[in-house]
Amino acid sequence: MAEKLKNTILEAVREVIPDRGRVGLHEPELKGNEAAYLTRCIESNWVSYLGEYVERFERELAELTNTSHAIVMVNGTVALHAALLVAGVEPGDEVLVPSLTFVASANAVSHCQAIPHFVDSEERTLGINPDALQAHLEEIAELRDGVCYNRHTGRVIRTVIPVHIFGHPVRMKELQQVAKNFGLVIVEDAAESLGSKMNGRPLGGDGLMGVLSFNGNKIVTTGGGGAVVTNNKTVAARLKHLTTTAKTAHPYAFNHDEIAYNYRMPNINAAVGCAQLEQLDDFIARKRKLADRYANAFASLEGAQFFSEPHGASSNYWLNAILLDDQDISARNEVLEHLIEAKLQCRPVWTPMHQLPIYKSAPRASLSVCEAIAARLINLPSSPFLADRTLTSEE
């Protein structure tokens, strides 16, 4: 790649982030009531799985996602695992997953002893392309008594997992129609999209279940944590039972009616989450301001473009991204190395799942768009505090 383009991209980033030493990719902010709530939690002695903050966190997450129920858990991966089990995924089933995603999406399928079936993405959303998925299923799938089967493998295709990449919404309306056409259950992987909206509707509530993550690098963190949200009362009760060791109600006896999981979030983590939710609107406002600055800096730059939210979306811009025009992955790596040398923690998108040795034999659609995006995408520093620098008169 020409030295000029590498330097031009660095200059564009420096318009947004002046040289201030090392800058992380996405750092947590714990400047609200976190310490106060943790102190109250410790003083109450309710630091484990029961306590006021667990109930409050679940209630507020349900309100935020416009759903009826939220069940908090220890991380996003186990939340997705539990959601898939409750969605009816059985050993040997296939689950449709975008190849362009974090490995947890595919691993959760494997934890169910099911098989990820990788499908393509689209550049305008970075998520599953519903049109390509419809065409792929028309080619390889058939319905038998309302159940979708892969004609080539003979396996049931049970579920589809749309992933809202970097907080940007998948075209859910179109995907819902594809799911309806083929009898598929939708489990939304909204791990990166808390606070994002599409046409005014929060993400996470358009499928049977939506899954959230509160890892240390997410827009809201509990240190480690996840949740499943749903509008289905029966599903919520099943999730709670399955993730709390399947213990049946009794004044003192320990009776468990099935082999289950201990995925419960401790009260001490939920306390941090409650304090973080109080700041979510501010986090999003500053992250959107940061995204605007990146968009302006890259607006007239030749050779790379800033990725902006899809039409109709109001994204949280969890991670900002640029796409290079050059599809040669070595060009991407040169830019990355140049930015990292400048003490800017940038990264490529995840290695596509079908390119990982652990999933090389998994069924897949044509994945040309996924591969092209992966070869060109670079994430830029995205912490909310990066929008806090003093504005100049020109801005």
pLDDT (tens digit, 9 = 90+) per residue, 303-356? 999 999 999 999 999 999 999 999 999 999 999 999 999 999 999 999 999 999
Residue 132 CB partners (closer than 8 Å, separation 6+): 119, 120, 122, 365, 366, 369
Distances (CA, A) of 153 to 115, 355, 363: 11, 21, 9
Residues 6+ apart with CB under 8 A from 8: 301, 303
CA 123 to the chain's CA centroid: 17
> Quick one: which of 262, 277, 352 has its CA closest to 75?
262
Tokens 């630091």 locate to: 47
State the CATH class of domain 34-277. Answer: alpha beta
What pLDDT does residue 85 have? 98
pLDDT for the residue numbered 20: 77
Give the pTM. 0.95
Q: Which tokens belong to 280?
A: 């979510």
What local confidence, expressed as pLDDT, does residue 391 receive? 45
pLDDT of residue 51: 87
pLDDT at 49: 83
The burial of 292, by beta-carbon neighbours within 10 Å (0-12 exposed, 13-18 middle, 19 or more buried), is given as: middle
Residue 46: predicted pLDDT: 84
What pLDDT is attached to residue 50?
85
Q: What is the pLDDT of residue 394?
A: 44
Helices and strands (H, E) in the chain, number of each type: 12, 16
**Which CATH number fits the domain 3-30+280-387, given the four candidates 3.30.499.10, 3.40.50.300, 3.10.290.10, 3.90.1150.10?**
3.90.1150.10
Q: pLDDT digits over 236-287, tens only?
A: 999 999 999 999 999 999 999 999 999 999 999 999 999 999 999 999 999 9
Summarize the chain as % helix, strand, coil (round to 5): 40, 20, 40
* Domain boundaries for CATH 3.90.1150.10 within the chain: 3-30+280-387
Strand ranges of the sheet holding 94-98, from the earlier edge strand across to the other edge: 69-73, 226-230, 209-213, 185-189, 157-160, 94-98, 115-119
Residue-level pLDDT at 17: 95
CA distance between the termini of the chain: 32
Residues facing residue 377 across a β-bridge? 323
Collect the ranges in the chain with pLDDT lower than 50. Answer: 390-395
Torsion of CA 110, 149, 227, 73, to 10 degrees: -40
Question: Which tokens is 267 given?
Answer: 């009260």
Residue 261: C-alpha distances to residues 82, 219, 344, 349 (Å): 9, 27, 40, 32
Strand partners, 262: 244
Contact in structure between 168 and 315 (CB atoms under 8 Å): yes
Domain with CATH 3.40.640.10 in the chain: 34-277
